[in-house]
Amino acid sequence: PESVPRQHNVRLPPDTSRETFDEAVASLRQALGHENVVLNDKPLVDGWYLEHPNTHDAFHVVDQEELVCSAIAYPASTTEVQAIVKWANNYGIPIYPISMGRNVGYGGSAPRVPGSVVVDLGKRMNKILKTDADNASCVVEPGVSYFALYEEIQRRKLPFWIDCPDLGGGSVLGNAVDRGVGYTPMGDHFANHCGMEIVLPNGELLRTGMGALPGKNGADNPTWQSFQPAYGPYSDGIFSQSNFGIVCQMGFWLMHETGHQSYMLTFPRDEDFTDIVEAIRPLAQKGLLGNIPQLRHVAQELNVTGLPKSHWYSGPDPIPRDVIRKQAAQLPCGDCSWVFYGTQYGDAASIKTQLDIIKSAFSKIKGSKFYLPNDVPPDHYLHSRALVCSGVPVLRELDWLNWKPNAAHLFFSPITPTRGEDAQIVHNINVRLHKKYGFDLFPTLCVAGREMHYITNIIYDRSSDDEKRRAAALMRELIAEAASEGYGEYRTHLLFADQVARTYSWNNNALMRFNETIKDALDPNGILAPGRNGIWPKKYRGKGWEL
């Protein structure tokens, strides 16, 4: 969508006069260089995935000018990040760090508190600091994308894979800090990180893990990327999905390249859903499913062709089940209910053994069919899964956005046990509420083992206030209903963070009170990403910020 003139001037930080703000900006420019502090005063442009804004949430759920920053700061080093943090404490101005800001569907690069100064780490801090072939690991700065890490490994001809999410343009560090997932055996990004360097909200610099032990003659510790917890409490976790620090370096393990075979299984009957999940559970728990496979509802087979909804159905309402059925019958998957995308790893003989076990397990589901990439046309989505599942970053999932004009999306991402009964409860809630609010339902279950991330992609037209309102209302009701059954989200858009955080309320909100205790100790002035993940510093708490 083209840019429209702005309704409002620069959105100032809370409780900050224009005069103080101008003085603060001048002082920050002195520290970072004039061109490295940019005011957010020009028309907002939503752009697209590869030319995404750092001024606001490109996938706005509320007014485009609501979730905006006042300015963007571009530090070039950890020392400059420390300078920014000290500056923020001085002026009491909230800052909001992003790595690259491609957190699409979860708020993008927008700050939770309008008028915050976004610290865009990725633009100038984008080095791969180390690739250690002996240790099969790397250390990256926030601005290293999956594409960049992949290319570096190819360029150096190292025998490693990276692990990327569905879209490869995001930050390796940023995604791990937000506990994103990918699809190779190393798909749990945070679980496969090793060592962090963090600027705390008071400006102090911290290294976690073995990095806390100084290396010889001032060198980095030689085991920093080898052993995660080191000694004492394992502190890394509190810097993920939080506002306790700014991560400036992070180590990651790399996977040794290996043989791989992707495949697709289809299941014909809607009513077999619980049996399909039951068949998945033992395979997943035993580690027989080599990676993080996906079970997708057949509606997505229409969507991943990249064709718009109007190609399949002309009504304004959600596509009826029988239309999906009829249209899917023309596609390689045929008239089916669920489609399973898996990949097995190892040498040819071991892949064959694994596939025999998997086929036999799924043969219990009547009418299931098995496909290899050669069995489907070259433009079929299975080929794109095969790339992602072998660590090759792609952009194929941008096709989601062809679904409707001005499309944006939100994710509803509850966790369920890998158990048919639980998955069915969450699925039923989704079916009913998507219908109530008039949205197509696109569920993908990412199977990790004992749990599945049940992710639905709510696609709405961001030029329509009515659709935005309905999408937000759908999210609110989904979160509430799932929680009343005991299911909670692993991640959510900025605007729903408070609500999701509130669902984790066991023992009179013990977890949130614990988080607030840490927040107040580390960030007494409440400058770092107030409200992120529902954690508000004392200065903001109970003053009407919570949504």
The residues that touch ligand ADP, with contacts defined as CB under 6 A, are 97-103, 109, 121, 142, 170-171, 173-175, 177-178, 246-247, 529, 532
C-beta of 205 vs 431, nearer to ligand ADP: 205
C-beta of 297 vs 532, nearer to ligand ADP: 532
Structure token digits, residue 296 = 């997708």
C-beta of 152 vs 257, nearer to ligand ADP: 152
| CA 340 – CA 90 distance, rounded (Å) | 54
Based on the residue annotation, tell me whether 487 is a catalytic residue of this protein: no
The distance of closest approach from Cβ of residue 26 to ligand ADP in the complex, given in angstroms and rounded to an integer, is: 26
Residue 408 burial (10 A CB sphere; 0-12, 13-18, 19+): buried
Among 11, 396, 462, 491, the active-site one is 491
Tally of CB atoms within 10 A around 167: 21
Among 91, 96, 106, 345, the active-site one is 106
Specify which residues 51 forms β-bridges with: 48
The distance of closest approach from Cβ of residue 405 to ligand ADP in the complex, given in angstroms and rounded to an integer, is: 24
Given 3-state DSSP classes, what are the helix, strand and coil percentages for the chain, each rounded to the nearest 5? 35, 20, 45
- Pairing outcome for strands 246-253 and 193-199: antiparallel
Structure token digits, residue 207 = 């290294």
Residue 506 burial (10 A CB sphere; 0-12, 13-18, 19+): exposed
The distance of closest approach from Cβ of residue 121 to ligand ADP in the complex, given in angstroms and rounded to an integer, is: 5
Based on the residue annotation, tell me whether 504 is a catalytic residue of this protein: no
The distance of closest approach from Cβ of residue 120 to ligand ADP in the complex, given in angstroms and rounded to an integer, is: 8
Task: Say if CB 104 and CB 46 are below 8 A apart.
Answer: no
* φ and ψ at residue 212, rounded to 5 degrees: -75, -15
| CA 289 – CA 298 distance, rounded (Å) | 21
C-beta of 193 vs 281, nearer to ligand ADP: 193
Query: Torsion over CA of 494, 497, 498 and 502, rounded to 10 degrees?
Result: 180
C-beta of 28 vs 110, nearer to ligand ADP: 110
The distance of closest approach from Cβ of residue 492 to ligand ADP in the complex, given in angstroms and rounded to an integer, is: 12
Residue 537 burial (10 A CB sphere; 0-12, 13-18, 19+): buried
Which segments of 360-515 are extended strands (E)?
369-371, 407-412, 415-417, 443-447, 451-461
Question: What single-letter amino acid sits at 152?
Answer: E
C-beta of 142 vs 318, nearer to ligand ADP: 142
The distance of closest approach from Cβ of residue 283 to ligand ADP in the complex, given in angstroms and rounded to an integer, is: 30
Among 74, 490, 532, 540, the active-site one is 490
The distance of closest approach from Cβ of residue 84 to ligand ADP in the complex, given in angstroms and rounded to an integer, is: 12
C-beta of 170 vs 290, nearer to ligand ADP: 170
Task: Say if CB 110 and CB 542 are below 8 A apart.
Answer: no
SS (H, E, C) 6-36: CCCCCCCCCCCCHHHHHHHHHHHHHHHCHHH
Question: For tokens 């900006």, what's the residue?
Answer: 25
DSSP tag of 67: S
Based on the residue annotation, tell me whether 490 is a catalytic residue of this protein: yes
The distance of closest approach from Cβ of residue 525 to ligand ADP in the complex, given in angstroms and rounded to an integer, is: 17
DSSP tag of 203: S
| CA 137 – CA 141 distance, rounded (Å) | 14
The distance of closest approach from Cβ of residue 109 to ligand ADP in the complex, given in angstroms and rounded to an integer, is: 6
C-beta of 94 vs 318, nearer to ligand ADP: 94
Task: Say if CB 205 and CB 527 are below 8 A apart.
Answer: no
Structure token digits, residue 250 = 């992070």
**Which alpha helices (H) appear in 267-316, and where do they start and end?**
273-285, 299-303, 309-312
C-beta of 141 vs 272, nearer to ligand ADP: 141
Q: Give the CB-nearest residue to ligand ADP.
A: 174
Q: Provide the annotated active-site residues.
A: 106, 490-491
